[in-house]
Amino acid sequence: MNIYNIYIYSGYGKGTIADQPDFDAGSDAEALYNAMKGFGSDKEAILELITSRSNAQRQEIRAAYKSQYGKDLIDDLKYELTGKFERLIVGLMRPPAYHDAKEIKDAIKGAGTDEKCLIEILTSRTNEQIHNLVAAYKDAYGRDLEEDVIGDTSGHFKKMLIVLLQDLYDAGEAQWGTDEAKFIMLLGNRSVTHLQLVFDEYQKIAENSIEDSIKSELSGDFERLMLAVVQCIRSKPMYFAKRLYKSMKGLGTADNTLIRIMVSRSEIDMLDIRECFRLRYEKSLYNMIQDDTSGEYKRTLLNLCGGDDDIAGEFFPEAAQIAYKMWEISAMTKVQLRGTVRPYQNFDPASDAQALRKAMKGFGTDEDTIIDIVTHRSNAQRQEIRQTFKSLLGRELMADLKSELSKNLERLILGLMMTPAEFDAKMMKKAMEGAGTDEHSLIEILVTRSNQEIQEMCSAYQNAYKKSLEDAIVSDTSGQFKRILISLAQGAREEGPVDMARALEDAQVLADACNADSGDMEDKFMSILCTRSFPHLRRVFQEFVRCSNKDFEQIIKKEMSGDFKNAMFAIVRSVKNQPSYFADRLYKAMKGLGTDDRALIRIMVSRSEIDLFNIRKEFKETHDATLHEFIQVETLVGDTSGDYRKTLLIICGGED
């Protein structure tokens, strides 16, 4: 479950674009005419003027332009400008309802339908905005919007779109037959305030979010539509923050989505969207636009964005409410963790040992049999196979596998055959051996393992390498980073019920530490973040918002540096939502040029029986693509036989 989806947003909405004081439509019309006459056009003058006027003022400028020059301003802008910059400027010049109508028309015309555009517009607009959209569509295209939607969609997806088009949020109860229809009746026929209370009560009763129920009961476009309805009821700014992030992450930019949201929300709630963006992605919307776009197009988008939130460390009042509620729900929610690998029902270790020996005997190796057995047995069962292989055949299974397999397939299969403690110890050893240190691996393992797992890993490290893990850390790292790793390697986080009075005390200590010198602040942060239980820390981070009105992650980002900062971030991310943290680590392991196979193997092996199912769900939620799809594409290079990829996909356990 994603904790970012489960709070109530109670903000009032703040835009970044407002009426220009001392506005003169005629003067602005003349300035735009001069910017476009002659050879070439003054794009800087155009973008600066249009982004510093409200939409109502732009309509006055358009009317003055026609009156003064007998020409349509939008037609002239289309002629003078090109590409994404033209689409953005022209979008700003249309009245909001006509802009939405154009987006809807483009979404349903031609061979395919842009379902995500339909979902975004129809779930996020108010009843008044929907009413104006329907009228604008009729005026612009001479067609009935409802009839066009009916003709271009089908099934329950179509039914819910029609409900949204008919302004039925406050309508009475209807009779529906199927489970899907019950969702339509509930979410399409109740007020926003009522539904916010319903979602809270549902959370208490089911110990599960309404979003998780939708994901388990529905599928396809209808699932995406109903999730969007819920997300918009909870928080439109957070919904748009997620849409903006997905439009810019990875290779390429979904410019239509980016333009549509920046245009439509600039006078409504862009400041709140910015704050939600920073809260969720630990990066400002401003910086992401700056990194992902260029030229006049970029400058126009940045003007609409209105500022860089990475410069500030404090919340807007409404965003503070979001952060506080987010941590509160995180503390209350019981997440059911699920792995993807389970014990094999008809398990026979002797039969498996014989089958593995046969697969490796003689000329050539039967990789398919090895993969099938190893990936369909739990780790405990694999340990029984190892013991049986030795007692029955007098051979070491690990040594035989190592001699018969190679490269990433060998590393993956051997990782699966080790005990979790042996595997973690080996990963720690690999992270510290050689010329460089893999600090991210050290952080990931020590931050995410339980006390018992860390203690068993330390014992396995001593047995395998005749040296304590702590000594290895001391000799391979330095400074505050060394101290934080040693602290985590003790496996001594406090356990037991949360003491709210102590959580409040810890929150105040952290808030006070933000005003201390950097060394003292790091000491205070480390003493609390490395020793308290995760449930306790959720309450601490919640109360920190109340004590300081500051963004905890932003404080770490601004005031700390290097590997110490990375370790602090990892702790906060894991406390907040550990499956989401691992989903992000997997994404980083596979995105861009080349794959970090060591990280990919480490996470897939170590989480396969714990929470890989949850990680898959978080991966899809954040990156708009399934983990299965990513593995299928990103592991092609160097895997000539396909066995490595095949093994990873079996462990992944499904396509979502």
Q: What is the pLDDT of residues 533-573, one digit of tens each?
A: 999 999 999 999 888 888 888 888 888 999 999 999 999 99
Q: Is the predicted pLDDT of residue 29 greater than 80, yes or no? A: yes
Interval 632-640 mean pLDDT: 69
Share the mean pLDDT of the chain. 88
CATH code: domain of residue 449: 1.10.220.10
How many CA atoms lie within 13 Å of 384's alpha carbon, on the beta-carbon side? 14
Q: What is the pLDDT of residues 238-251, one digit of tens each?
A: 999 999 999 998 76
* Cα separations in angstroms, 286 against 173, 248, 294, 475: 44, 12, 13, 41
- Would you state the structure tokens that stand for residue 460, as one six-digit string? 């396995």
Among the candidates 490, 522, 545, a domain finishes at: 490
In a domain, residue 70? The reply is no
Q: Where are the alpha helices (DSSP H) in 282-361?
A: 285-292, 295-305, 317-332, 349-360
Q: What is the pLDDT of residue 190?
A: 61
User: Is 390 within a domain?
Assistant: yes
Report if residue 632 sits inside a domain: yes
Number of structural domains the chain divides into: 3
623: in domain:
yes
Q: Do 441 and 384 sit in the same domain of this protein?
A: no
Which range among 92-106, 395-409, 486-500, 641-655 shows the weakest confidence by mean pLDDT? 641-655
Q: How many CB atoms lie within 10 A of CB 334?
A: 7
Quick check: 606 and 332 in contact, CB under 8 A?
no
pLDDT band at 621 (very low <50, low <70, confident <90, very high): confident
The confidence score (pLDDT) of residue 189 equals 59
- Residue 203 inside a domain? The answer is no
Predicted pLDDT of residue 28: 97
Domain range enclosing 464: 420-490
Q: What is the pLDDT of residue 185?
A: 65
Clarify whether residues 424 and 404 are in a common domain: no
501 pLDDT higher than 50: yes
The size of the chain, in residues, is: 656
The span from the CA of 333 to the CA of 210, in Å, is: 12
Give yes or no: residues 413 and 436 share one domain: no
Work out the burial of residue 154: count CB atoms within 10 Å of its CB; fewer than 13 is exposed, 13-18 middle, 19 or more buried: exposed
The answer on pLDDT for 305 being more than 90 is: yes
Residue 441 shares a structural domain with residue 424: yes
Inside any domain, residue 464: yes
pTM of this prediction exceeds 0.95: no
Averaged pLDDT for residues 374-393: 97
Regarding whether 477 and 426 lie in a shared domain, the answer is: yes
> What is the distance between the alpha carbons of residues 418 and 426, in angstroms, rounded to a whole number?
10
In the chain, % of residues over pLDDT 70: 90
DSSP state of 20: P
Alpha helices in 394-478 (DSSP H): 397-404, 407-417, 420-432, 439-448, 451-465, 469-476
Looking at the domain assignment, is residue 92 inside a domain? no
585 shares its domain with 644: yes
78 falls within a domain: no
Residue 506 above 80 pLDDT?
yes
Q: What average pLDDT score do residues 53-75 get?
A: 97
Degrees (nearest 5) of the Cα angle 228, 617, 155?
45
Q: Are residues 480 and 432 in the same domain?
A: yes
Same domain (yes/no): 383, 412: yes
